């Protein structure tokens, strides 16, 4: 015998929130300073619910991405202006992140040691 759930046994999922066009505009603005989790808190929904909405609603997803991109472009523009204006820290940061510069020290273990080290060791052995 198979069990067939009746209406009392089924769990009804809470319907997904539908953002208004004003709220989507607000999300675009807030996306520059808030994470998805923080945006969810702002709108009184769970982070998981917000992520599900982002997956399903192209306008919401687009607004969030556009807001993030605008903020990144603004900060990057300011960084570039500082670097071009002679700010050494900004120049170094820019070159490390955009031109592949790094501060790695490469030690060649196969290189010959300077002769001076051998002379010092020989002098110590004679003493």
Q: Domain residues for 51?
A: 21-101
Asked whether residue 3 is assigned to any structural domain, the reply reads: no
pLDDT at position 14 is 76
Asked whether residue 78 is assigned to any structural domain, the reply reads: yes
pLDDT digits (tens, 9 = 90+) for 7-56: 555 566 778 899 999 999 999 999 999 999 999 999 999 999 999 999 99
Domain count, the chain: 1
* All residues at 6 or more sequence positions from 80 whose CB lies less than 8 Å from its CB, including other chains: 94
Put simply, whether the predicted model's pTM sits higher than 0.85 gets the answer no
DSSP H or E stretch at residue 25: helix 21-30
Asked whether residue 87 is assigned to any structural domain, the reply reads: yes
* All residues at 6 or more sequence positions from 113 whose CB lies less than 8 Å from its CB, including other chains: none
């Amino acid at each position: 015998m198979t069990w067939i759930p009746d209406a009392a046994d089924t769990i009804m999922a809470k319907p997904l929130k539908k953002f208004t066009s004003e709220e989507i505009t607000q999300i675009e603005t807030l996306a520059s300073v808030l994470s998805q989790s923080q945006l969810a808190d702002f709108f009184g929904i769970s982070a998981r619910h917000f992520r599900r909405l982002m997956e399903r609603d192209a306008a919401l997803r687009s607004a969030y991405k556009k807001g993030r991109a605008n903020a990144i472009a603004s900060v990057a523009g300011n960084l570039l202006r500082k670097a071009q204006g002679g700010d050494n820290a900004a120049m170094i940061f820019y070159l490390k992140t955009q031109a592949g510069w790094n501060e790695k020290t490469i030690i060649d273990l196969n290189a010959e040691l300077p002769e001076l080290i051998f002379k010092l060791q020989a002098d110590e052995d004679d003493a």
